[in-house]
Amino acid sequence: MDQKDWVLMKTLYEQRNMTRTAAKLYVSQPSLSYRLKNLEEEFGVPLFFKTKKGIGFTSEGEYLVQYSKEMLKQLQLMKDTMSNMEEDVSGILRIGVSSNFAQYLLPKVLKNFSKNYPNVRFNVKTGWSTQVIELLNNSSVHVGILRSDRGWQGEKVLLRKEPLYLISKEKLNIDLLPEYRLINYSTDSSLKDSITAWWADQFSEPANIEMEVDRLETCKEMVKNDFGFAIVPGICLKKDDDLYQQEICFKDGTPVTRETWLMYNQSFENLTVVDRFVNHLKEWNGKD
């Protein structure tokens, strides 16, 4: 069993489907089936079985998956450590980033970091904060930048707090919001919970949802064209946005805010590239 088999086992376990696994690994299905059969012959026990939904794993198969994940993790750590032995700060920095931070701030952060460390390359994975925390838990990334602390037990640094805003084309009477049209957008659960908590604190009536869109930028464009109002994090707003903007607060005057956290596993602190990036973000500390 070698690195290719470790990757195969991990990918098949994630996909639970032969077609998707073959596509993910850029191999043919017959080639994939042949490699899986060879693995079972090598260990002398059944590792897989077919289910109505795809592929299942025997107890021995489950054990081999965990072994494969651990071996891939150790292999990556060895590569990182060897890269770290060079005098210059170099190598690949693996970063998991929440989608909104990745869109609005990450390019500038990485550009500034690259000015000081031009030999560092970046492997960036974006998604909801729930997906980023999973990448951290699996040690698939060195650091994560998330929009909530998610109960992370490793190292974490609060990078910034930003208010949530009510945005609309024209000024609205906030006391009459249930009468206006709300435009919703897909986002992670922590932001949804913050908006829901604020609405429940302010109003007894439900929101009048006019539209449901998949992206925050689409939502902003709908608001700019006067199809309704929205509640958005400050990270997405620009000085040249032609929008009415009002920070929202709870009835007791507490602002409704959105946090951005830097998180990383202590075991990666000895890697120079991680140490320098963490320090870079601490110095940036939310400055646009």
Q: pTM of the predicted model, to two decimals? A: 0.69
The answer to whether the 3-80 and 162-258 domains have the same CATH topology is no
Give percent of the chain with pLDDT exceeding 70: 95
**Which two structure tokens, joined as six digits, stand for 260?**
């951005």
Query: Other CB atoms closer than 10 Å to residue 34's CB: what's the count?
Result: 12
| CATH class in words for 162-258 | alpha beta
How far apart, in whole angstroms, are the C-alpha atoms of residue 187 and residue 184?
9
Domain ranges across the chain: 3-80, 86-161+263-284, 162-258
**pLDDT of amino acid 76:** 78
Model pLDDT for residues 181-210, shown as the tens digit of each residue:
999 999 988 899 999 999 999 999 999 999
Model pLDDT for residues 73-121, shown as the tens digit of each residue:
888 777 767 666 555 678 889 999 999 999 999 999 999 999 989 989 9
Q: CATH second-level architecture of 3-80?
A: Orthogonal Bundle (1.10)
Q: What is the CATH topology of the domain spanning 86-161+263-284?
A: D-Maltodextrin-Binding Protein; domain 2 (3.40.190)
Q: Average model confidence (pLDDT) for the chain?
A: 90
**pLDDT of amino acid 262:** 94
* Triad 111, 116, 117: Cα angle to 5°: 85
Query: Other CB atoms closer than 10 Å to residue 181's CB: what's the count?
Result: 18
**C-beta separation of 219 from 183 below 8 A:** yes
Res. 281: pLDDT tops 80:
yes
How far apart, in whole angstroms, are the C-alpha atoms of residue 273 and residue 11?
28
| Mean local confidence (pLDDT), 237-245 | 92
